[in-house]
Structure 1
Amino acid sequence: MGIKNAAKKTIAYAKRNGARAAFFAAIERLSDNRKEKYTYNELSEAVLNEQKQEYKALAETGGALRFSIVVPLFNTPEKYLRQMIDSVVAQTYGNWELVLADASPLESDLVKEYMKEDPRIKYFYLGSNEGISENTNRGLEKAKGDYIGLLDHDDLLTPDALYEVSRVIRKSMSRNHLTQFQACPIRLIYSDEDKFDDHKNLYYEHHQKPSFNLDYLLSNNYICHFTVMRADIIKRLKFRKKYDGAQDFDLVLRACLEATLTMPMATDQIAHIDKVLYHWRCHKGSTASNPASKMYAYEAGQIAIGDALKNFGVEAEIAQLPHLGFYRAGYGGDIFSQRKDIGCVGGKLINKKGRVAGGIYKKDGTAIFKGMPFGYSGGLQHKAVVQQDCYAVDIRCMALRPEFAEAFKDIAGFEYEDTFSDLQGNMTDKSHDDVQVESKREYLDNINSLTEEEILKINLKIGEEMKRRGLRVMWDPQVVRKI
Structure 2
Amino acid sequence: MGIKNAVSKTIAYAERNGIKAAFYAAMERIKINSSEKYSYRELSEEVLREQNQEYRLLAETGDAVRFSIVVPLFNTPEVYLKQMIDSVVNQSYGNWELVLADASEKSLDVAISAANDDPRIKYYHLDKNAGISHNTNRGLEKATGDYIGLLDHDDILTPDALYEVSRVIKKSMQKNKLSRFIDCPIRLIYSDEDKFEDEKGVRKFFELHEKPSFNMDLLLSNNYICHFAVMRADIIKRLKLRAKFDGAQDFDLFLRCCSEAALSMDMASGHIVHIDKVLYHWRCHRASTAANPASKTYAYEAGQAAIADVLKSNNINGEVVQLPHLGFYRVNYERGILQERDDVACVGGKLVNKKGRVAGGIYKKDKTAPFKNMPVSYSGGLQHRAVLTQDCYAVDIRSMAIDPLYKDIYKDVVGIDYVDTFTDPKADTTALFTGMSEDEIIDKSVRFCEEIKKRGKRVVWDPQIIKRV
Q: When the two structures are superposed, what TM-score results if normalisation uses the length of structure 2?
A: 0.98
The equivalent residue for 1:429 is none
Q: Which runs of 4+ in 1 moved over 3 A?
A: none
After TM superposition, give the deviation of residue 449 of structure 1 in Å. 3.1
Paired residue type of 1:478: Q
Instruction: Tell me the alpha carbon deviations over residues 132-167 of structure 1, each in whole angstroms, 9 at most, x when there is no partner.
Output: 000000000000000000000000000000000000
Structure 2 match to 1:470: 456
Q: Which amino acid aligns with 1:466?
A: I
Task: Work out the CA distance in 1 between the residues paired with 2:336 and 2:164.
Answer: 42
Equivalent position SS for 2:467 = strand
Residue among 460, 463, 467 paired with 2:446: 460
Give a deviation string over 1:221-253, Cα, whole Å, max 9, x none.
000000000000000000000000000000000
Q: In 1, Cα distance between the equivalents of 2:434 and 2:391?
A: 26
Tell me the distance in 2 between the aligned counterparts of 1:296 and 1:412: 47
Cα deviation, 1:452-478, whole Å, max 9, x if unaligned, reads 011011101111111111000000001
TM superposition shift of 1:299 = 0.4
The question of 1:288 aligning with 2:290 is answered yes
Corresponding residue number in structure 2 for 1:23: 23
* Aligned residue in 1 for 2:195: 195
- Pairs within 5 Å for 1:103-182: 103-182=103-182
TM-superposed deviation, 1:446: 2.2
Determine the C-alpha separation between the residues in 1 that align with 2:196 and 2:97.
Answer: 24
Partner of 1:68: 68
2:378 alignment partner in structure 1: 376
Q: CA deviation at 1:444?
A: 4.3
Rounded Cα–Cα distance in structure 2 between residues aligned with 1:139 and 1:331? 37
Equivalent residue letter for 1:210: P
Write out per-residue CA displacement over residues 30-76 of structure 1, whole angstroms, 9 at most, x where no aligned residue: 10011111010000000010011111111111111110000000000
Q: Distance in 2 between matches of 1:93 and 1:407?
A: 50
- 1:301 shift after superposition: 0.2
Q: Tell me the secondary structure at the aligned position of residue 88 of structure 2.
A: helix
- In the other structure, the counterpart of 1:254 is 256
Equivalent residue number for residue 314 of structure 1:
316
Q: Deviations over 1:317-366 (max 9, x none)?
A: 11100011000111123322210001110000000000000000001110
Contact 1:194 1:203 in 2 (8 A): yes
- Residue of structure 2 equivalent to 1:430: none
- One of 437, 441, 447 as aligned partner of 1:451: 437
Matched residues in 2 for 1:332 and 1:475: separation?
Answer: 17
Instruction: Tell me the residue number matched to 1:395.
Output: 397
Who is 2:210 aligned against?
Answer: 208
- What's the secondary structure of 1:5's corresponding residue? helix
- For the residue of structure 1 that corresponds to 2:386, the secondary structure is coil
Aligned residue number for residue 350 of structure 2: 348
- Once residues 64 and 411 of structure 2 are traced to their aligned partners in structure 1, the CA distance between those partners, rounded to angstroms, is 54
1:6 match: secondary structure: helix
Identity value in percent: 66
Aligned partner letter, 1:93: Y
Q: Give distance in 2, aligned partners of 1:95 and 1:445.
A: 64
Q: How far is the alpha carbon of 1:267 from its aligned partner?
A: 2.1
The equivalent residue for 2:2 is 2
Q: Which moved more, 1:92-101 or 1:444-453?
A: 444-453
The match for 2:32 is 32
- SS class of match (1:347): strand
Gaps of at least 5 residues in structure 2 are none
CA RMSD for the aligned pairs?
0.9
Quote the Cα distance in structure 2 between the aligned partners of 1:16 and 1:339. Answer: 31
